[in-house]
Amino acid sequence: MAPRDASAVTEVVRTGSLAARPVGYRQRWRHVDKSVFLWLFLIGVLLVLVINPLARLFWVSLQHVDTGALTLENYVTAYGRWRYLEALVNSLVLGLSVAVVCTLFGVPMAWAVSRTDMPGKGLVWAAILGTFIVPSYLGAVAWILLAGPNAGWLNRAYMWLTGAAAGPFNIYSMTGLVLIVAAYSFPYMFVFTRSALDMISSEMEDAASTLGAGILRTTLRVTLPLTLPAILAAIIVVFLEAIALFGAPALIALPGRFQVITTMLWQFFEFPPKVQVAAAYSMPLLAITVGLFWLQRRLTGRKGYVAMTGKGGERRPVRLGKWRWVMLGYCLFVTSLSFFLPMVVVLQAAFAKAWGRGFSLDNLTLHNVRFVLVDQPLTKAATLHTFVYGATAAAIALALALCIAYIVQRRLVPFGNALSFLAMAPFVIPGIVLAIGFYAAYTQPPLLLYGTAWILILAFATRFLPIAYANSDAAIRGINPELEDAVRILGGGRLMAIRRVVMPLLKRALAGAFILVFIPATRELSAAIFLYTTGTQVLSVLLFDKSDEGNFEILASIGLILVVITVALVMLGFRLVGRDFMLRRTSA
């Protein structure tokens, strides 16, 4: 056997005696991993989607309206009037009130579902999932039907019961707006608090009870404080959600004759659009959001609380006795506000000849839904657009997120952290601010996208890129890099490794991520409203546009179609990924 041959075996490298041949350009080129060009291309795409709109937003806010010269005049205009400042204050009031109401709604429900023997948990859970599925602007439409002055169902019920001449409820008020926004934001509070509660073992509570504390005392002194970081984080999230929301405030505040930041921005865009002022005016929104998200990260990043890391340990439900029915009543009350009552009135209106005529068989009709889906070319096109734009945006976001997560995880480029930061950055940019940035960046050459569907698609893709990125990142972390090394060493190249090994292994996770982006993309309103043009309407925009006409049967039908689309996607997600897929905390 040759290798044992002494002369071969004892050969030792005489270092330096046999100089290595110099490496020529040809060989250098042969040595280059060609996939590097794909990574460079992706970085370019990220620049277009994230950096350029933001840079343009800042730039435009400093540009003179007519001359384009550098000026602070826009800021003076934006903050020079009491009316404009009042809108800022209103947004803060709205955000804080919503945070308080969400805490009152979400925390007791989370505790009841996670830690007690309350009956009907499945029903409560389903209703919360249902709340996630109803877009908040549809909720606003429903609440106009429920608590509009005089004609609203609740007012009519009150008048019928008491014989009074007028009902007490007026949804077109700050109180009304807070209620609606809170009703559609409290699920965040619920999910955050619940996942924190799920990590606390009963032993910690037992430790308190053995020292003589009762249930109430234990809960208030031990359990809740342990979940405090999660609750604070959720408060920040719902606050930010509330101040960045466009649909519900526009439907409620404008008829109620008050303004918030987002409706004010909308007004700056009325013809002729004052982009420069809008850009300047959006800066506080951006600053608050970035600042609070930073704070939120610090809160959840702190490891001081064992409850966040301590798993295991036995978990027993707290026995509530007869109070469990009270608890269930409370849960059903909250979900009635957010889900049951709105869905009933939306369904009624969607299938009614005239919603005001109430629940009777001769008032039933399929005409509205037919009108939206079949008869009216505009709404028919919008339905198609909703699907196509949403799916395209989800595909783009996912492809981009996947590639970025991959090159960052595999350290294929030296500045990976910067890329991952860029991919997550849209998470802290309110949709409406992003839209203004896109408008500022892409209404003129070289990239004239305004007026095409692409500006909507790219804006959606950018907005939901963080969802796609967080999911892709988690999925790729689960793949041992040696699986790809094995492909390469056998002659396969990196792209083949991705195609033959990485993609097949990621299929399920990616299907889930796709749906998680697709769902919000089909109902997105706050960016779409600034970027659509005639011919590129989507359902959400149409629903908002038609709200002027007061044709609530059509509005309800459009809303219902959106809900049906979402439900179908959620069901698909459940089948592909499992029950938990929508309510995981991946992004926060």
Partner 1 sequence: MTKLTLRNVSRTFGSVVAVDDFSLALAQGEFVALLGPSGCGKTTTLRMIAGLLDPSAGTIEMDGEVISSPGSSLPPEKRGMSMIFQSYAIWPNMTVAENVAFGLQVRRVSRAETRTKVEQILDVVQMRHLRDRYPAELSGGQQQRVALARAIVVQPAVLLLDEPLSNLDANLREEMRYEIRRLHDEFHITTVYVTHDQAEAMVTSDRIAVMNQGRVEQVDEPRALYARPRTRFVAGFIGRTNFLDGEVRDGEVAFDRFAIGLEQFAEAPALSGRVSFSLRPQSIRLLRQRPPASSGSSAIPGHVVQRAYLGEHWDYVVRPADSGLQLRVTARPHEVFEVGETVWLEVDPRQMAHIQ
State the residues that interact with partner 1 by CB under 8 A. Answer: 1-5, 8-9, 11-13, 15-16, 20-21, 23, 27-28, 30-31, 33, 480, 482-483, 485-494, 496, 500-501, 504-505
Shortest distance, position 42 Cβ to partner 1, whole Å: 19
* Contact in structure between 566 and 273 (CB atoms under 8 Å): no
Beta bridge partners of residue 557, listed in sequence order: none
Shortest distance, position 326 Cβ to partner 1, whole Å: 49
Q: Which residue number, 347 or 501, has a Cβ lying nearer to partner 1? A: 501
Shortest distance, position 493 Cβ to partner 1, whole Å: 5
Q: What is the DSSP string of 241-276?
A: HHHH--HHHHHHHTTTT---HHHHHHHHTSSSP-HH
Shortest distance, position 488 Cβ to partner 1, whole Å: 4
Beta bridge partners of residue 318, listed in sequence order: 116
Q: Which residue number, 11 or 314, has a Cβ lying nearer to partner 1? A: 11
Shortest distance, position 573 Cβ to partner 1, whole Å: 22
Q: Which residue number, 33 or 375, has a Cβ lying nearer to partner 1? A: 33
Q: For residue 449, which amino acid is it?
A: L
* Contact in structure between 43 and 419 (CB atoms under 8 Å): yes
Shortest distance, position 417 Cβ to partner 1, whole Å: 15
CA distance 555 to 289: 31
Q: Which residue number, 23 or 207, has a Cβ lying nearer to partner 1? A: 23
Q: Which residue number, 319 or 500, has a Cβ lying nearer to partner 1? A: 500
Reading the block at residue 448, the tokens are 């004239």
* Contact in structure between 87 and 260 (CB atoms under 8 Å): yes
Q: Which residue number, 385 or 494, has a Cβ lying nearer to partner 1? A: 494
* Contact in structure between 209 and 288 (CB atoms under 8 Å): no
Q: Which residue number, 70 or 483, has a Cβ lying nearer to partner 1? A: 483
CA distance 356 to 302: 53
Shortest distance, position 395 Cβ to partner 1, whole Å: 22
What CA–CA distances, in Å, run from 505 to 395, 398, 408, 483, 484?
A: 18, 15, 18, 11, 12
Shortest distance, position 20 Cβ to partner 1, whole Å: 5
Q: Which residue number, 27 or 162, has a Cβ lying nearer to partner 1? A: 27
Q: Which residue number, 25 or 271, has a Cβ lying nearer to partner 1? A: 25
CB under 8 A, 24+ apart: contacts of 570-578: 570/129, 570/133, 570/515, 570/519, 572/515, 573/511, 573/512, 573/515, 573/516, 576/508, 576/511, 576/512, 576/515, 577/508, 577/509, 577/511, 577/512, 577/515
Q: Computed over its alpha carbons, how large is the radius of gyration of the chain?
A: 28
Reading the block at residue 349, the tokens are 């209106």
Shortest distance, position 247 Cβ to partner 1, whole Å: 43
Beta bridge partners of residue 74, listed in sequence order: none
